[in-house]
Amino acid sequence: MALRFPPGFTWGASTAAYQIEGAGPPGSRGTSIWDTFAARPGRVRDGDNGDLACDHYHRYPEDVQLLEALGTGAYRFSVSWSRLQHAGRGPLNQRGIDFYSRLVDALLDRGIEPWVTLYHADLPQPLEDAGGWPARDTALRFADFAAAVHHFLAERVTRFITVNEPWCSALLGYASGEHAPGRTDPAAALRAAHHLLLGHGLALEAIRSIAPAQAGITLNVAPVAAATEHPDDADAARRVDGLTNRLFLDPVLRGEYPEDVVRDLSPLSNFGFTADGDLAAISAPMDFLGINYYAPQKVYGTPDAPPVEQPSRYPGMDRLGFHHTGRRTAMGWSIDASGLTGTLTRLTRDYPAIPLYITENGAAFDDEVTGGQVLDHDRIDYLDEHLRAAHAAITAGADLRGYFVWSLLDNFEWDQGYSKRFGLVHVDYASQERIPKLSAKWYRDVVQANGFD
């Protein structure tokens, strides 16, 4: 069925610094927690790391041309904190400023609006050594960094995302240890979550003090359902929804932590890390909320739950089963676009009056290059279904203003290294050749039509 998005709808593609840039010339980037983590045996699949990645540092002109060919009016990328401040504090490094200036200018020359994410997973290692996100000072350092970045970009960039997916940085980084810095300390993970949110609030204030900007945070929001009607499963679903979604949405959009989640977590923490004024800073009005959507989750909490599929990411919940059913991506994640409609309508109902952007949505598949082509019909199907689901939410009243595909390029998928390919553009990591996949051509047509015929 033909379908059109609202006039002025933003179309874009997303990436993140550590996942694509590579280190660049020797000495041009400080060490981040991902460099350290990737150097530890067994932490990243196949021993991969971000030393070269897509070598975007050198190849950004070609990547900007790929974006131009897609026809998207927007590009979301992150700035590397450890490139701009090797130690996570002090004046910005000139080589880093020059790199991002060149990138921003190249985008603006082609009429592509830069959407800059200020923090996307790559904390400078010296700040981790000083306590990392569980330490309050990291939030203050981040606000200084955000102000300095806005200072040099202010005349060219007006769209900022403060923090990407604080859930991942806090809970995968400090509770389950699947992501850098690889700590397994649930109480520290809760402090990290609070300080990531505080960093967001302080950064918002700092960047607005420099020049007007449109700014928001990006949260990974996922629908969580009980696997059965058993009360233990229902309670597990409530708790996981609390820890995945409401622990972040409520402070940002309501200025409070959800009571039931605070109660659940009381054996681990009394939330004494929340100082006077923190929640006011965290809930300062934003211009938009960014949503990263990939898959719904089904949760078991019964004693006879199927075995846990991963180390516990949920502080205070050690026995927990997750199931992904039906069609899945190469990540093993369920494909269920109705979860996106549900997420957007839930946000509209429970947290009204905030414009929404899907800042990431996409899927990894085991793409094959045949005769110089990648015919990724499975990715096209995934994107098609999710865009239709997003459109259904708009029809139902969601104030959705834009959509960014994850990702422009195949890239370093964190603990999965280069084994998972999310890009619209295939990257041959040995030669660094880029091949736009069939999905890139498909997306170009969607962008051009502002929908589907």
Which of 360, 399 has the CB closer to ligand IFM?
A: 360
Nearest residue to 408 via CA among 159, 101, 81, 64 = 64
CB of 370 to ligand IFM, least distance (A): 25
- Note the residues at the interface with ligand IFM (CB under 6 A): 16, 19, 165, 292, 360, 406, 413
CB of 29 to ligand IFM, least distance (A): 18
Is 256 noted as a catalytic residue in this protein? Answer: no
Which of 336, 360 has the CB closer to ligand IFM?
A: 360
Task: State how far the Cα of 64 lies from the Cα of 44, in Å rounded to an integer.
Answer: 29
CB of 221 to ligand IFM, least distance (A): 12
Which of 179, 238 has the CB closer to ligand IFM?
A: 179
Helix (H, G, I), strand (E, B) or coil at 186: helix
* Secondary-structure percent of the chain, ordered helix, strand, coil, rounded to 5: 40, 15, 40
Q: Which of 165, 178, 259, 385 is catalytic?
A: 165
Buried b (16+ CB within 10 A) or exposed e, 36-50: bbbeeeebbeeebbb
Which of 11, 294 has the CB closer to ligand IFM?
A: 294
CB of 335 to ligand IFM, least distance (A): 14
Is 360 noted as a catalytic residue in this protein? Answer: yes
- Element (H or E) spanning 441, and its range? helix 438-449
Q: On the CB side of 300, how many CA atoms lie within 13 Å of its CA?
A: 13
Which of 97, 405 has the CB closer to ligand IFM?
A: 405
Asked if the peptide bond before residue 267 counts as cis, ω within 30 degrees of 0, the response is no
CB of 78 to ligand IFM, least distance (A): 9
Which of 53, 286 has the CB closer to ligand IFM?
A: 53
CB of 333 to ligand IFM, least distance (A): 9
Asked if the peptide bond before residue 407 counts as cis, ω within 30 degrees of 0, the response is yes
Q: Which of 21, 128, 178, 360 is catalytic?
A: 360
- Element (H or E) spanning 206, and its range? helix 186-210
Q: Are 192 and 175 in contact (CB under 8 A)?
A: no
Helix (H, G, I), strand (E, B) or coil at 373: strand
The full DSSP string for 261-318 is: HHHHTTTT---TT--TTHHHHHTS--SEEEEE----EEEE-STTPPPPSSS--STT--
* Residue 440 Cα distances to 69, 136, 354, 408, 426, angstroms: 9, 42, 30, 9, 10
| Residues marked as catalytic | 165, 360
